[in-house]
Chains A and B, each alone.
Chain A
Amino acid sequence: MNRREASDEDLERVMREVPRGAFALAGLAVGALLAAWLLIYFLVFLPRGMVG
């Protein structure tokens, strides 16, 4: 394998990719959390009926 020192251009290229992955991961986590909340809300909380 041809090894070489990472150049500034390489670093910039990686730094352009990294935030995209971070946003994808965070979006997935927040989306899953919200989906779970809405599932409990519609399938458990509302059918259980009025209280107050």
Chain B
Amino acid sequence: MPISEEIIVRSELRWAAISVGVVSVIMIALIYAGLVHHINPPSNIERIDPKTLHLGGEFTEANLGTRVSGDGQVTSRIVATQFTFQPRCIVLPANRRVTLRFATPDVIHGILVSGTNVNTMIVPGYVSQVHTVFTRTGDLLMPCHEYCGLGHSEMSATVRVVPPDEFKPDAEGRVACDAR
């Protein structure tokens, strides 16, 4: 008895249902991660002039690094440039919501913080912003993960996550690696 058209159609429909099921499981898992665990792709859109980055505004040298504002918000500002980060080490508290803000004056860079979900591109002309909560203390590696030129492999920084009681801002609200 030859295989009937009906059997072929039925098996193809079964596979279509399995495919839809797999995609649905993945979509539901991603929506669950976003709504319940607040794991979302960074979506900040903010323009900045890369030519005058260092001359004024929040990414001047004096403003870089970690600072705690009056309302307790912890923000770290980092400039990614060929082939280093400025500053090369930042201090952040564990178990507290922190904001990382990046800008670049030259080419496209990217960062990730090892062992965390922090991962973003840094594009000239835009401020990249990531909110996160670090749960593990210690020195975490933050390499550039977007090829940016011959020195790309040397481009990395350290994120020093300290217990909340060791996170002590100075009178201006600053916390730096060498000051600890």
Contact = CB atoms under 8 A, between A and B. Distances in A.
From A23, A27, A34, A50, residue with most partner B Cβ within 10 Å: A50
A52 to B, nearest CB: 4
A28 to B, nearest CB: 12
Interface in B8-49: 11, 15, 18, 22, 25-26, 29, 33, 37-43
Contact of A30 (B22, B133, B134): B22
A26 B16 CA distance: 13
B55 interface: no
A23 B11 contact: yes
A51 B133 CA distance: 7
A34 B37 contact: no
Interface residues of A, number: 19
B44 to A, nearest CB: 9
A50 to B, nearest CB: 4
A41 to B, nearest CB: 6
Contact of B39 (A12, A15, A26, A46): A46
A48 B33 contact: no
A50 B11 contact: no
Interface of A: 12, 15-16, 19, 23, 26-27, 30, 34, 37-38, 41, 45-46, 48-52
Closest 9 CB pairs of A and B: A52-B40, A50-B38, A51-B117, A48-B117, A51-B132, A48-B116, A52-B131, A49-B135, A50-B133
Interface of B: 1-3, 11, 15, 18, 22, 25-26, 29, 33, 37-43, 115-119, 130-135
